[in-house]
């Protein structure tokens, strides 16, 4: 039996105004590499009865997404990210493993753009690195039902 796997090229980033429903989000197709970070904080629960070892159970989760866009003045995805950064406004994002109407999974929530970096290499095109942090969790989409 062949092992099933997903290619990153098939993953999707969707955006919309704050609190936009999943089905109404717009596909961001000006995205190259994307990294979804889902860290969980810890807290120190160490006591003397733990035989000299620390105890650091999980606490609050956070969500951050980092991605690269090609700089295209006037392009809608670029302008949405730039404007959200400059205006300190929020965007609803869904970071999914596929189409938003298929077997895909990933977080959806309201995000703030916290980093907006323009790269200007001498021998390449201008790109934008964007970092968005979730400020309000809406749901973890699991269209595949797993």
Higher pLDDT, 130 or 1: 130
For the chain, the residue count is: 146
Please report the DSSP string for 99-113 in residue order. -TTSS-EEEEEEEEE
What is the pLDDT at residue 145?
Answer: 53
Show the domains of the chain with their CATH numbers: 11-142 (2.30.110)
Q: What is the pLDDT of residue 144?
A: 56
Question: What is the reported pLDDT for 3?
Answer: 57
Q: How confident is the model at residue 101 (pLDDT cuts 50, 70, 90)?
A: confident
The pLDDT score that the predictor gives to residue 28 is 96
> CA-CA distance, 103 to 122, in Å (whole number)?
41
- State how far the alpha carbon of 125 is from the alpha carbons of 28, 73, 80, 120, in Å: 19, 13, 20, 7
pTM of this structure: 0.89
């Amino acid at each position: 039996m062949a092992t099933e796997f997903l290619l990153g090229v098939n993953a999707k980033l969707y955006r919309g105004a704050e609190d936009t429903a999943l089905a109404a989000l717009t596909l961001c197709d000006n995205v190259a590499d994307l990294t979804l970070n889902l860290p969980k904080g810890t807290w120190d629960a160490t006591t003397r009865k733990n035989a000299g070892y620390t105890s650091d159970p999980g606490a609050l989760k956070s969500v951050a997404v980092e991605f690269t866009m090609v700089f295209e003045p006037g392009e809608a995805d670029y302008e949405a990210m730039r404007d959200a950064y400059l205006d300190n406004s929020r965007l609803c994002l869904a970071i999914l493993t596929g189409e938003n109407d298929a077997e895909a999974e990933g977080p959806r929530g309201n995000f703030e753009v916290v980093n907006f970096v323009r790269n200007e290499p001498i021998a390449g095109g201008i790109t934008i690195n964007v970092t968005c942090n979730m400020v309000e969790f809406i749901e973890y989409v699991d269209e595949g039902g797993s």
